[in-house]
Amino acid sequence: MTEDPLERIEREERERKENKGPRTMMTILAAVAAVLALVLGYMLYQRNSLVKDLESEKADLAQQMVQLQSDFANLNSDYEAINHQLDTSREQVAMLIDKLSKTEATNRAKIRQYEKELGTLRTIMKGYIVQIDSLNTLNKKLTADAAAARREAAESRRVSEELTQQVENLSSQVNAGKVLKGRAISLHGHYNNDKVGDRHSRVRYMTANVTLVENSLADHGPVRVYVRVKDPEGTLLLNNESVDFSVNGVSLQATASREVDYEGNEVDLSIFINDTGEFVKGVYTLEVYTDKSLLGRAECMLR
């Protein structure tokens, strides 16, 4: 049966209206899905970009830690206490590197904490450098001061030694100046009439003559003068007045001696040599001493 054209048109219109709602909904859903896909893709892009930035920050932080570790390794000192502190700080840097390696880059709280710890260790290292430099500067100053002190001490010792030597020289000069000296030393033969003569057969005694020189530095008081007279054979003339004495630790025997009171002024004295036996022909020798020195020598020829 043939459909009425009018009815067909109404039917198609009715079917069109019935199908329009679902198609519109599908279009809207498709559009929403497309938008969501774009948003999700952008979010994924942003997330991946953020992750890459965080990974880069972590790598940079790790590099800074390794550099600080190298700086600590190259930092040395001559001071035991600082070396002990440096060892502790090196261990802290190594532990920080280990903790960073085990932490995800996305754990920003931990990463920031490690950054702060790294900053603290850097500050500590700067403090070590300042401290070591200060101690080295102080050590150099102390070393220089010690060297200067040693030079001053050496100079003081040198000056002291020079002064000591000068004092010793002066003392020696004074001591030498204090020694009595004699002049006009002579030995003569005498006859019975006390006349000076040189005929051995007539000589009955001899006199040793000496003048003690004026000396204000010499010790004042009693001074004993000793004479030693030897005959031509070199035999020491002796009698019952002969005495023993010593000069600078050497023991000697004197032919005769005499004590005088010396007050620093010139003193002339004679010492008699008699009762020593007969005198013979030849040269007699005379030595004159005090307890401290030899005053001089003289000779007498008897014919």
Task: Tell me if 90 sits within 8 A of 66, measured CB to CB.
Answer: no
Domains, the chain, in order of start with CATH, read 20-150 (no CATH), 182-302 (2.60.40.10)
Asked whether the whole model's pTM tops 0.75, one would answer no
pLDDT at 228: 95
pLDDT at 158: 86
pLDDT at 269: 93
Percentages helix, strand, coil for the chain, rounded to the nearest 5? 55, 25, 25
- In a 3-state reduction of DSSP, which class is residue 258? strand
Query: pLDDT tens, 162-217?
Result: 877 876 665 555 555 578 899 999 999 999 999 999 999 999 999 999 999 998 77
Task: Tell me if 263 sits within 8 A of 150, measured CB to CB.
Answer: no
Q: What stretch of H or E contains 136?
A: helix 108-178
**DSSP-assigned states of every residue in 18-80:** HHHHHHHHHHHHHHHHHHHHHHHHHHHHHHHHHHHHHHHHHHHHHHHHHHHHHHHHH---S-H
- In a 3-state reduction of DSSP, which class is residue 190? strand
Half-sphere exposure of 17 (CA within 13 A, CB side): 5
Name residues of the chain where pLDDT drops below 70.
1-4, 17-24, 39, 41-51, 167-177
Name every residue whose Cβ is closer than 8 Å to that of residue 201 and which is 6 or more positions away in sequence.
none
